[in-house]
């Protein structure tokens, strides 16, 4: 988990922190908090889907075209284990690959 969380933090800071903030608290409803959110504490499948495909009619873009399966697995692992989201889950790149 350590390596994925470290990589995930880097991916998050480079791609997600501008909107969701480095502390995961977001910016109002336009860029919702990830700390304690239904996405980061809900099912792994929903979380992967949101990162891969974004969310229609919102600012949340699809990251599937820009990020590798490893980077997506790492950032999801980071998000599910940061800011009080103590899910204790490690997301493998193969799980992301199979969700594409």
DSSP class of 44: H
- Do the domain assignments include residue 100? no
CATH code: domain of residue 58: 1.10.760.10
* Domain membership flag for residue 8: yes
**Range of 31's domain?**
2-94
CA distances from 47 to 20, 92 (A): 15, 13
What whole-number distance in Å separates Cα of residue 17 and Cα of residue 77?
Answer: 15
More confident residue, 93 or 29: 93
- Look at residue 13 and tell me if it is in a domain: yes
What's the number of domains the chain is made of? Answer: 1
Q: Is residue 30 part of a domain?
A: yes
What residues contact residue 7 under an 8 Å CB cut-off, 6+ apart? 70, 71, 74, 78
* Cβ partners under 8 Å of residue 83, min gap 6: 23, 24, 25, 34, 35, 36
Average pLDDT estimate for 70-87:
98
Asked whether residue 21 is domain-assigned, the answer is: yes
Q: Model confidence over 22-76: pLDDT tens digits?
A: 999 999 999 999 999 999 999 999 999 999 999 999 999 999 999 999 999 999 9
Residue pair 18/74 in contact by the 8 Å Cβ criterion: no
Residue 99 lies in a domain: no
């Amino acid at each position: 988990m350590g390596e994925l969380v470290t990589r995930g933090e880097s991916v998050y800071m480079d791609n997600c922190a501008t909107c969701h903030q480095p502390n995961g608290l977001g910016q109002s409803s336009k860029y919702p908090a990830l700390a304690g959110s239904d996405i980061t504490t809900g099912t792994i499948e929903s979380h992967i889907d949101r990162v891969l495909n974004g969310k229609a009619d919102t600012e949340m873009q699809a990251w599937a075209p820009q990020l590798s399966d490893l980077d997506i697995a790492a950032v999801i692992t980071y998000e599910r284990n940061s800011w009080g989201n103590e899910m204790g889950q490690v997301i493998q790149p193969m799980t992301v690959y199979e969700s594409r």
